[in-house]
A = this chain, B = another copy of it.
C-alpha cells in the first residue's frame, strides 16, 4: 500500500511518528528543507543529509520551466538528477503560479501563466501538475489547489476552497498509485472554521495518503495561524500525516506540533542564511552586525554542527561583510542543522512526555525574548 504512517508516541496533541516511503523513512515531526530548483541552495546533498534531514521539497513551478519535467524524467528523475536518493515532496506549482499575479489567469480547468524566466506561456491543471510530479518521480505528490489569498471575505474564501476541492478530486483521479508513493490533499478555507471543516470533510471523502493545511503563513500572524490549526486539525484523520505548508519560524513549528502537525517546510533557514542571519537557541542573530567582528565564540555555544565546531563569529562576520560565498554556505549549513536539531529535540520531548515543558522553556528563548 502507498506510504506507511505509524504514531510511535503522543503527548497531548503532539505526535511522534514515522512515515515509510519508497525512498526511505521520515521521522516526524519533520522539517523539509526547500530545494526549489533541484538544489537546496548553497548545500551539497550529502551535507543536507548530514544536517539530519530525511526529506526535501522540490518546486514543480521552477522545475517544469527549467530544466523541464520531461527532461528530468529522461535523466532518471529528480532523485538521480540532484543526487538526493531520499524522499522528495513536490508542491503542485499552484502556490507559485498564483503569486505571479500579473502573469496568470485562473479558470475552472486550470491556470495559464507566463514564465518569469522568458515570458513563455504555460498551462497548469490538476492533471498536468500530477503528471509533472510523476515525471519528477516525487515520493509525495501534492494535489493542485488555489492558495486563497489573505485576507479574503467568507464568500471569496468559500468559492476558492470549493474550486480547490474539485481540483483535489481531479488530482486524485490523475494520480498513478505506486507502492511507497503518496498523494496529499490540501485543506483550504482561510480563517473560517466552517470552511476549513467543509474542506477537510471533502478531502477525507476523496481519501488521501496525507493531509496538508494550506493558505496559512501568508500574513495572518502566529495567533491567527494557531487558532486556525486549533479548529482544523480535529477534522483530519488521526492515522495520516499532517503537513503545515510554508511554516515557519522555530516558535511557529513548536506551536503547530502542539496542535498535532507532523510535517513542515520553509525557506527561512536557507534564505536567511544568504542574508547573514543565523538561527540559534537564543534567537536569531545577524552576522553583519559589527559587534561580532572580534567575537571568537561560535555562532551558538549549544550547537554541535560542523560550522559551530570549527568557526567563530569573527570569521563569519568577515565573510558576511565581504559577501564571500563561503559565508552563505556556512550560515545555511548551520541554520539547516539548527532546524533539524529543533526537530530532534521536539521528537525526544514528545517521547519523554515533556513536550509542554519543552515548549514553555524554549519558545520564548528561540525568539530572542527568553
CB of B71 within 8 A of CB of A322, answer no
Q: How many Å from the CB of A157 to the closest CB on chain B?
A: 35
Given the known inter-chain contacts A293-B67, A329-B329, please indicate yes or no for A324 contacting B83, CB distance below 8 A: no
**B326 pairs with A75, CB closer than 8 A:** no
Q: Are A66 and B318 in contact (CB under 8 A)?
A: yes
Interface stretch, picked from A40-48, A89-97, A232-240, is A40-48
Task: Specify the chain B residue showing the minimal Cβ separation from A47.
Answer: B44
Task: State how many copies of this chain the complex holds.
Answer: 2
B310 touches A83 (CB 8 A): yes
A75-B296, A293-B71 known; A318 vs B38 contact (CB < 8 Å): yes
B74, B311, B325: the one within 8 Å of A83 (CB)? B311
| A318-352 vs B, Cβ < 8 Å mask (1 yes, 0 no) | 11011011101110000000000000000000000
Q: Give Cα A322 to B318, complex, Å.
A: 27
Considering residues A43, A312, A325, which has the most beta carbons from chain B within 10 angstroms of its beta carbon?
A: A325
Interface centre among A315, A318, A325 (most CB of B within 10 A): A318
Query: Within 8 Å CB of A41, what residues of B?
Result: 324-326
Contacts of A293 in B (CB 8 A): 67, 71
List B contacts of A67 (CB < 8 A): 293, 314, 318, 321
Q: Are B294 and A44 in contact (CB under 8 A)?
A: no
Q: Is the CB of B326 within 8 A of A294?
A: no
Complex CA gap A129/B169 in Å reads 72
Q: Which of B82, B294, B329 contacts A75 (CB 8 A)?
A: B294
A-B contact pairs, 22 of them (CB 8 A): A37-B322, A37-B324, A38-B315, A38-B318, A38-B322, A38-B324, A39-B319, A41-B326, A42-B325, A42-B326, A44-B326, A66-B321, A66-B322, A67-B318, A67-B321, A75-B294, A75-B296, A75-B315, A83-B310, A83-B315, A325-B325, A329-B329
Known: A82-B315, A83-B310. 19 other contacts (CB 8 A): A38-B319, A38-B322, A41-B324, A41-B325, A41-B326, A42-B325, A42-B326, A42-B329, A43-B326, A44-B326, A44-B329, A66-B322, A67-B321, A71-B293, A71-B294, A75-B294, A75-B312, A83-B311, A325-B328
